[in-house]
Structure 1
Amino acid sequence: MHVRDLKAGDVLLFSPEEGSWISKAITWLTDAPVSHAAMTYQIPTKMVEETPPAVRIAEATMRFPGRTVHVMRLNKTTIDDFKPVMDIAAKYLNGEAPYAMNNLYLVGMLLIYKKFTPSDTTQKIILRILKRLTEKLLDAINQHKYPDKHPMVCSQFVFECYQEAGKAYQLTIKNGSLLGDSNRPTLLSKAFKHKRQQSQLGGLQSDNTSDEELAKELYEAMNDETLLASGTVADELLDAIHDFAQVLHGVSHQVELEKADPKQGIAILQAQSSMFVTPGDLLRHCPELVHIGDIKLK
């Protein structure tokens, strides 16, 4: 398939970025060969994507090299006008986009929602990742940079463009990546039952480790089968989830940190979990999208 064969509204799902540990972590956590989602915008060579600092338009040919792009198209022959979907994308482009976080945010959300009990070593790395994400959201509160909605990841942005375009365009996710058949609770469900013992929000210490290095440590720990989980989750990690939830509530509801409520933040995360869409979901678990081909540019 060639770039010129793309049509407005085509969903573009990218294979992991070469050399990116964040991309590798996303594919491991979702058990899918894709780590980023975007959408063809208006003409074949243009794409729209949710990426920091905001939703943007990019040249498809500049974003494709070195990655396989799986092209998905709405499987409804009665629809050939994608203007409603493009209009929603344009709305986000024109300044109404949710606060954009980098792909470490997607990793963090996957860790909170995944049905697994991480090993003690992995828990320590997850703790550092959550503190990093909490710092980023806290900066938004301190600088009074509030979004209109809670932060959205790349695949959620694509999904929302279709959802908001009207009933004829709406997508569904069946047996999503994070549902699985595991009976293990998520970190979020454990945090819901946990009473925060100590908040770190007043004394978050900067970790000089890069996002990629954190993702590398996470990936290597998750792939080390010699590290067996104890079956318990450390209170410090559960406290960190409450801290993250508190700043998420502050950002989402445009309130100062002192007025932000971790319980309401947990409620936001719980409500979002049922609607959370991963790049892998758009590839494998969305019956309204059909795979029409792949593009690979060197």
Structure 2
Amino acid sequence: MITEKRIGIENLRVGDILVFPAPEGSKLSQAIALLTDSSVSHAALMYKIEDELLIAESTLEGIRLTPLPDEMPFIRRYHLNAEELNKLLNSIEYYIQDKTDYAYIDLVLLGILLVYKKFSKKTLTNKIFYTFLEYIARLLAETVNNLLSKGKNPMVCSQYVAQCYLDAECPLKFNKMVVDWDYSTKLLKRTRGNDRISLITLLGDTPYLSNTRVESNVNMLNMSEESEIFNDFIHLIKSEKNAGIKKGARKEQHVEISEQPSMCGSEILDLSDLVAPAREIANSLNLILTDKSVVNKIHPMNGSYEKEVFFVTPADLYLNCSNVEPIGQLSF
């Protein structure tokens, strides 16, 4: 567990990255922390209107400004000059004014990738298969987001943080990322008699992992167990959205900086419908991979991570970002 010095509100600066520990009352937040081998589940940016400290964040209701919550986030700082800070603020404000949506499909697809990586044997075949899964995740996310949010770029919380810095021409850099195949090879092994493994079962008795690793044998799931975990993750997202903000969670109020009407799409997508087609595509690609002649033609995704935001998680901002300074943990 990382121990960081406590800092006060007076130490905060506009543009700081805030990374929040996973609250105990949210199963979805606990799932994110579990799948990313960390204790965090949410990220936001420090903002200010006159003398009021606010945070700019992508919530389940979309990107917006909210009051500084009574939580204790970890603070990460990219040292910006005046011009860079101005560009960052312009980017923050643009997505808020545009009422950019939350990227539910990105969260689901990233969850599927992390489930597969976390519970699969570390073999060359699975590594190649995983590379294809990354491509599929990108294509599905782009297709669905174009259908539901035409002209916009839906983002989850950590994507929003990374995108704003990218827009400001100050891309966040990562030595490694949670989504990387070799990020973690020491996994938890859970056995519950003859019960099938599921994400909710794991959440029931698994402590936060922070940046520590637990020695164990790697577990290989069969298709029925994988399907249950996928469905559990989607169920957690839906239940979190439907339940709204629960006791002890962030305040509901938010701050408007624009009177522009909402541009949110009216179409509703049942995310669970995407799991089976995605798995069928993946299975087909896996069959292709059994042909040894095509293995050498498979290459990793092009582009450096400093220019990518799709795979950035709160844990990456917390643990893996190489060009930000850890400032401490906010204490009230």
TM interval, shorter chain, is 0.5 to 0.7
- Match of 1:93, SS? helix
2:18 matched to which residue of 1?
Answer: 12
- Match of 1:68, SS? coil
Aligned residues: 220
- Of all paired residues, the percent bearing the same amino acid is 26
Q: CA deviation at 1:182?
A: 6.7
Q: CA deviation at 1:170?
A: 1.6
Q: CA deviation at 1:149?
A: 4.3
Distance 1:231 1:46, change over 3 A: closer
1:57 matched to which residue of 2?
Answer: 65
Q: CA deviation at 1:233?
A: 3.1
Q: Which amino acid aligns with 1:93?
A: I
CA deviations 1:140-172 (Å, max 9, x no partner) are 99xx85243454210010000000112xx2211
Q: CA deviation at 1:34?
A: 1.3
Q: Which amino acid aligns with 1:68?
A: M
Instruction: Give the counterpart of 1:289 among 319, 324, 328.
Output: 324
2:223 matched to which residue of 1?
Answer: 233
Q: CA deviation at 1:183?
A: 9.4
CA distance in 2, matches of 1:21, 1:272: 34
2:204 matched to which residue of 1?
Answer: 220
1:73 lines up with 2:57 in the alignment: no
- Match of 2:177, SS? coil
TM-score normalised to structure 2 length: 0.53
CA deviations 1:159-216 (Å, max 9, x no partner) are 00000112xx2211221122152799xxxxxxxxxxxxxxxxxxxxxxxxxxxxx964
Q: CA deviation at 1:92?
A: 0.4
1:279 matched to which residue of 2?
Answer: 314
Distance 1:271 1:20, change over 3 A: farther
CA distance in 1, matches of 2:108, 2:202: 10
- For residues 1-298 of structure 1, the aligned pairs below 5 Å read 1-43=7-49, 45-60=53-68, 63=69, 65=70, 67-75=71-79, 78=81, 81-95=84-98, 97=100, 99-101=101-103, 106=107, 109-114=110-115, 115-117=117-119, 145-149=148-152, 151-166=154-169, 169-181=170-182, 216-217=200-201, 219-220=203-204, 229-234=219-224, 237=227, 275=308, 276-297=311-332
Q: CA deviation at 1:234?
A: 4.6
CA distance in 2, matches of 1:19, 1:51: 16
Instruction: Tell me: higher relative CO, structure 1 or 2? Use CA pairs within 8 A at least 6 residues apart.
Output: 2
CA distance in 1, matches of 2:76, 2:201: 32
CA contact (8 A) 2:45 2:56 kept: yes
CA contact (8 A) 1:51 1:101 kept: no
CA contact (8 A) 2:36 2:114 kept: no
Deviates more, 1:148-157 or 1:51-60: 148-157
CA contact (8 A) 2:62 2:99 kept: no
Q: Which amino acid aligns with 1:72?
A: R
Which structure 1 residue ranges, 5 or more long, are not aligned? 120-136, 185-213, 245-250
CA contact (8 A) 2:35 2:118 kept: no
- What RMSD, in angstroms, separates the aligned Cα atoms of the two structures? 4.5
Which structure 2 residue ranges, 5 or more long, are not aligned? 1-6, 122-140, 186-197, 208-214, 235-263, 283-300
Q: CA deviation at 1:285?
A: 1.0
Q: Which amino acid aligns with 1:71?
A: I
Q: CA deviation at 1:80?
A: 7.2
2:130 matched to which residue of 1?
Answer: none
Distance 1:46 1:215, change over 3 A: farther
- Match of 1:116, SS? helix
1:192 matched to which residue of 2?
Answer: none
CA distance in 2, matches of 1:31, 1:117: 13
Q: CA deviation at 1:5?
A: 2.3
Q: Which amino acid aligns with 1:52?
A: L
CA deviations 1:196-243 (Å, max 9, x no partner) are xxxxxxxxxxxxxxxxxx9644523878x99984554359949x89xx
CA deviations 1:14-38 (Å, max 9, x no partner) are 0111322222221111112211000
TM-score normalised to structure 1 length: 0.58
CA contact (8 A) 1:38 1:154 kept: yes
CA distance in 1, matches of 2:184, 2:74: 31
- Match of 1:42, SS? strand
